[in-house]
Amino acid sequence: MIYLDYAATSWPKPPAVIAAMADFLEHAGGNPGRSGHRLSIAAGRVINEARESVAACFGAPDPLRVVFTPNVTYALNIALLALLRPGDRVVTTGIEHNSVMRPLRALEKAGVELVVAPCGPDGSLDEAALQRALAPGARLVVANHASNVIGTILPAERLATAAHAVGALFMLDAAQTAGVLPIDLSTLDVDLFAFTGHKGLHGPPGTGGLILGERVDVDELQPVFAGGTGSRSEREEQPEIMPDKFEAGTPNGVGLAGLGAGVRHIMALGVAAIREQELGLTRLLCEGLATIPGVRVYGPADRERRTATVSIIVEGRSVSEIGYLLDEEHDILTRVGLHCSPATHRTIGTAPDGTVRLALGLATTREDILITIEALRDIVG
Ligand code: ALA
């Protein structure tokens, strides 16, 4: 089987991740920060280690400003709901995932002003349009770091500068880039950094988080969820201390044990080395696809401006048929359709049917790519 669905979730997980999860259940299964006994303390230690590993991986100076959430969608929702009020202006791009667009559309109905800066057919952001949308007083710019459909990398550094120039905060949705592109928050001036644990960081599903930068005044944010934290238990209001303010209820200790191990695994490999490997495989794939008549590849031609997520269509054939034949006849797993990002498909002209997405990752080999190209050649006939 060839797994080409890394943009949905990474698979297989490193053995160290599976071992860390089993170890947590066996030896550290208490409720962290709640009780004083050894299993509770052991669970708390594993979660703290995961928090420190995540902070170190992204160059975030304060692990206590790493908030764990069940996934990146929760991280994005918590940030948007905590920050935005009726009358605020928020600016986003034309290639966002529904994890950003759906909460923003709901906030728009509640009186938040939403401006979508368009992107070109390869996903490149119209930066002049974004600048025009950024009137002084804008509250937030939110953008994905790379498209989950066509892999286009957006210019996070310039977006941060543009946002800060008008006094807005900048939130980066790193769902597709955490663990995939080298990211250093000590130099990349991102205020709210939302990540998922189960893709490039190679942790399990049910993990993700939000890292708050120094520009974010935590006291100004309203907690979206409230509940038990194990801290300040005498009060019926949510504690102000971090990260408890945004982490109500028992955390996913087993998942975070796996996330910590996943992060340490990719740090040991080196994210820059992972990126180099994926760039080479993406080049091989795109060059091979270009030799198959009727196959159209989306996304930037310049491989440096894209991740290893490649979308295609085959002229005159339905995307579901291509995905089905790849799976059933060639054991190649892809994702077809709209990829929860109708905005991207409207932008690149593939709505309403979508594309066939080939998303490479850590365990993908040159042989996998060569077999996939020949499988597509065979299917196209
Ligand atoms: N957002 C994930 C994807 O693109 C699930 O497939």
**Measuring from atom 5 of ligand 1, which residue has the nearest CA?**
8
Please tell me the total number of residues recorded for the chain in this structure.
381
Contact between 69 and 223 under an 8 Å Cβ cutoff? The reply is no
Question: Residue 33 has what pLDDT?
Answer: 87
**CATH topology of 2-10+270-380 equal to that of 15-269?**
no
Distance (Å) from CA 148 to ligand 1 centroid: 6
Residue 359 contacts by C-beta under 8 Å, 6 or more apart in sequence?
4, 5, 6, 7, 8, 308, 309, 310, 334, 335
Kindly name the residue from 57, 119, 286, 340 that is annotated as catalytic. Answer: 340
Q: What pLDDT shows up at residue 137?
A: 84
Alpha carbon nearest to ligand 1 atom 2, residue: 8
What pairing do the DSSP bridges indicate for beta strands 208-212 and 66-69? antiparallel
- CA distance to 83, 107, 111, 139, 223, per residue, from 87 (Å): 12, 10, 6, 10, 20
Closest ligand 1 atom to 148 CA? 4
Out of 96, 340, 357, 358, mutate this one to test ligand 1's pocket (max ligand atoms within 8 Å of CB): namely 340
Kindly state the greatest CA–CA separation across the chain.
70
* Cβ neighbours of residue 182 closer than 8 Å, sequence gap 6 or more: 271, 272, 275
| DSSP E strand stretches across the chain | 2-3, 66-69, 89-93, 113-117, 140-144, 169-173, 192-196, 208-212, 295-297, 309-314, 332-333, 335-337, 355-359
Name the fold adopted by 2-10+270-380: Aspartate Aminotransferase, domain 1 (3.90.1150)
pLDDT score recorded for residue 245: 97
Q: What residue segments make up the domains of the chain, in order of their start?
A: 2-10+270-380, 15-269
Q: Which residue has its alpha carbon closest to ligand 1 atom 6?
A: 8
Residue 57 is a catalytic residue:
no
Q: Give the residue, by CA position, lying nearest to ligand 1 atom 3.
A: 8
Kindly report the pTM of this predicted structure.
Answer: 0.97
For residue range 17-42, what is the model confidence (pLDDT) as tens digits? 999 999 999 999 899 988 999 999 99
Query: Which of 147, 148, 152 most suits a substitution to test ligand 1, by most atoms within 8 Å of the C-beta?
Result: 148
Domain 15-269 sits in CATH at 3.40.640.10
| Cα-to-centroid distance, 295 and ligand 1 (Å) | 22
Ligand 1 atom 1 nearest Cα: 8
Question: What are the tens digits of pLDDT across the range 203-259?
Answer: 999 999 999 999 999 999 999 999 999 999 999 999 999 999 999 999 999 999 999
> Rounded to the nearest whole angstrom, what is the distance from the C-alpha of residue 101 to the centroid of ligand 1?
14
Q: What is the whole-number distance in angstroms between the Cα of residue 51 and the centre of ligand 1? A: 24
State the distance from the centre of ligand 1 to the C-alpha of 157, rounded, in angstroms.
24
Angle CA(364)–CA(368)–CA(369) in degrees, nearest 5?
Answer: 95
pLDDT score for 122 = 97
- Supply 355's token pair: 């594309």
What tokens were used for 34?
Answer: 């709640």
Q: Show the low-confidence residues of the chain (pLDDT under 50).
A: none
Lookup: tokens for 22: 């089993």
CA dist 222 and 207 (Å) reads 22
